[in-house]
Amino acid sequence: MTGAATRGRLGIAVASGMLKGVYGHGVLAAFEERGVRADVYGTASSSGLSGGLAAIGRARQTGVGYWLGAAAAATEKGMSTVVLDSIAEYGPLLREGLFRPGAPEYLLAASKVTDPAAAETTQGPGAKALGRRLLRDVFAGDRGWVRQNLAPVVFSTQAPPGSDRPRLTPENYDAVAYASTRMLHAWSVPAEVDGEPYVDASYTCSCPAREVAARGVDVLVAIGSDPFPLFRDLYASEEIADGSRLDGARVLVVKPEQDLKDLGVDYAAATAEGLTLAYRTGLDAGHRFLDGHPGLTAAPRTHQEEVA
């Protein structure tokens, strides 16, 4: 593995960010171009697709095209349909690659609803109103409802059968992938995994850096989608800080230098030009990051990729 002699085991955790996740996809495409492949990929919500594609070596091939299609369809179809359509399109490719012998470990986070009354709300007509309340709670710094009713669950492609670690399988992949994205305020279709109610990972684990570190990696690269401090969840319960350590892993953070909204990419809406620019920005940031950390790769920078 490129750079393995100096870096040890490498983990990559990619934060959620809805359409702003196009930046992280660009970073992952740059890593792939330089021959950098992690031993463990941790993803949540919108990063599930880009991180999954990186884990099977297909991030560059898909590029910004996925994000352009998703943004265009969001206003016409609604987010639940957009995500379900993307799972139908990319699910076969990901199921084939993620569970192949020798593939990197792939982690996908979601939030399990632990209280029956809360489950009734999240799965029923009161979901959107609750979702709007939870967004207001973000700005108020109030995690009370989340602490009481949700628990982070991080599924792994390499969890041994029968272990306490939740297992991601070809059979439950589609359900987990959808559940991981289901923001209550905008997703109309309820999410279940093995008959249990789930909602978006971001409420409890928008960047599974701690879970990736726990897999015995030496270096953990955490990729954010905002220039602000990178946190574990929407409610800023734990900062993932550049230069810190998690379970012995050295943490390195890659994130945009400016709000992608300035480029035309917000969480739920984006222009085609903005998405292309944000993807290129991530691509360039990924290369600069690797230039600054030569121990991660021995490959020279030869980027000539056209954004498709």
**Between 293 and 300, the higher pLDDT residue:** 293
Per-residue pLDDT reduced to its tens digit, 20-41:
999 999 999 999 999 999 999 9
151 contacts 204 by C-beta, under 8 angstroms: yes
pLDDT at residue 66, as a whole number: 93
Tokens (6 digits) for 229: 């401090």
Q: Which residues pair with 43 in a beta bridge?
A: 108
Say which residue the tokens 């992949």 belong to.
173
138 contacts 235 by C-beta, under 8 angstroms: yes
159 contacts 166 by C-beta, under 8 angstroms: yes
In the chain, domain spans: 8-295
Per-residue pLDDT reduced to its tens digit, 7-20:
789 999 999 999 99
Q: In whole angstroms, what is the distance from residue 267 CA to residue 20 CA?
A: 6
pLDDT at 1 over 70: no
Per-residue pLDDT reduced to its tens digit, 227-237:
999 999 999 99
Among residues 189, 199, 192, the alpha carbon closest in space to that of 175 is found at 192
Among residues 297, 289, 268, the alpha carbon closest in space to that of 22 is found at 268
* pTM, entire model: 0.93
How remote is the C-alpha of 202 from its chain's centroid? 9
308 contacts 59 by C-beta, under 8 angstroms: no
Tokens (6 digits) for 137: 């709670």
Type of residue found at 258: Q
Provide mean pLDDT across the span 192-201: 97
175 contacts 191 by C-beta, under 8 angstroms: yes
Q: Which of 2-11, 144-153, 292-301 has the weakest average pLDDT? A: 2-11
Roughly what angle, to the nearest 10 degrees, separates helices 21-33 and 47-55? 10
With residue 48 as reference, give the H or E element that holds it. helix 47-55
Query: How is domain 8-295 classified at the architecture level of CATH?
Result: 3-Layer(aba) Sandwich (3.40)
pLDDT at residue 75, as a whole number: 79
